[in-house]
Amino acid sequence: MKIGCHLSASGGYLAMAQTAVSIGANVFQFFTRNPRGGAAKPIDKNDVAAFLKYAEENAIGPILAHAPYTLNAAGAEPRVREFAESVMADDLERLELTPGAMYNFHPGSHVGQGAEEGIALISGMLSRILSKKPYSTTVLLETMSGKGSEVGRNFEEIRAVIDATESALGSGGILGVCLDTCHVWDGGYDIVNNLDGVLAEFDRVVGLGRLKAIHLNDTMNVLAAHKDRHEKLGKGKLGLDAIARIVNHPKLRDLPFYLETPCDLQGYRDEIALVKKLREG
């Protein structure tokens, strides 16, 4: 199975891949730059070359790059939207050095402008960036919990961003989705008691063919809390039985799973071993 976790990017690509192997992972996620924003570190071409060789030898990937949280394409201030657009464009440009990566971002927060305006702003940014050239990286919209004014709080909003973007681009099948198990639960989708029903709903509204990655997290909150607080696997409201059903589900089991639980490296090593055990059982 494809299983890994979020790792610090501070040591570069090769260090992340080596760390992944050391904890039993074969995929990993990382922030493209400081999660609170700011300039990205210059790319070290030697590090990238060493990483690509190591990843090939150790069957690592796909890697999942995560945009900074401050990237808000749906912001009210032009400056906020321009920052989002320049960061995403720059991130995708840099990811061309690691072909076949995926790039996950939080669609944005409409900050009172309304979901419809938020969707228009987000799809406007995506279509401008993606019309420049065909990137080798697949851009993924993350399903959100609906905290504050988050766009992407339900499958319909995700679908609306996809449709508006791809109709502006004049081509389909470009955008993907990353389903975060904490976020969808906090958003009101009961993946504990009705995983089949939620996946059928996702398929009807978005299409399971769009689903490219799973953020595998437990959650501190009750169903539909709209809060977004991740918990260690089995220690939250989802519980290990639900986690086992998720990682074994025939519609999910071949996707890459990325842990974003509140763990240190040893904690992630333990959770990866736990998930592998759930898969065998």
> How many Cα neighbours within 13 Å face the side chain of 256?
21
Is 228 a binder of Zn ion (CB under 5 A)? Answer: yes
Q: With H, G, I as helix, E, B as strand and everything else as coil, classify residue 7.
A: coil
Check if the beta carbon of residue 120 is closer than 8 Å to that of residue 164: yes
Residue 184: CB minimum distance to Fe ion, A: 10
Residue 135: CB minimum distance to Zn ion, A: 25
Residue 29: CB minimum distance to Fe ion, A: 9
Q: Which does 215 bind (CB under 5 to 8 A by kind): Fe ion, Zn ion, none?
A: Fe ion
Q: Which residue is nearest to Zn ion (CB)?
A: 228
Tokens of 202: 């996702």
| Binding span for Zn ion by CB under 5 A among 39-47, 166-174, 223-231, 262-270 | 223-231
| Binding span for Zn ion by CB under 5 A among 45-53, 62-70, 77-85, 225-233 | 225-233
Is 150 a binder of Zn ion (CB under 5 A)? Answer: no
Residue 148: CB minimum distance to Zn ion, A: 13
Check if the beta carbon of residue 9 is closer than 8 Å to that of residue 16: yes
For Fe ion, the binding residues (CB under 5 A) are 142, 180, 215
| Closest listed residue to residue 184, CA positions, set 207, 152, 206 | 152
Tokens of 30: 């990382």
Point out which residues pair with 215 in neighbouring strands: 180, 258
Is 142 a binder of Zn ion (CB under 5 A)? Answer: no
Check if the beta carbon of residue 272 is closer than 8 Å to that of residue 24: yes
Q: Which does 186 bind (CB under 5 to 8 A by kind): Zn ion, Fe ion, none?
A: none
Looking at the Cβ atoms of 129 and 259, the one nearer to Fe ion is 259
Residue 158: CB minimum distance to Fe ion, A: 14
Point out which residues pair with 259 in neighbouring strands: 5, 216
Report how far residue 89's alpha carbon sits from residue 122's, in angstroms, rounded to the nearest whole number.
13
Contacting residues toward Zn ion, per CB under 5 A: 228
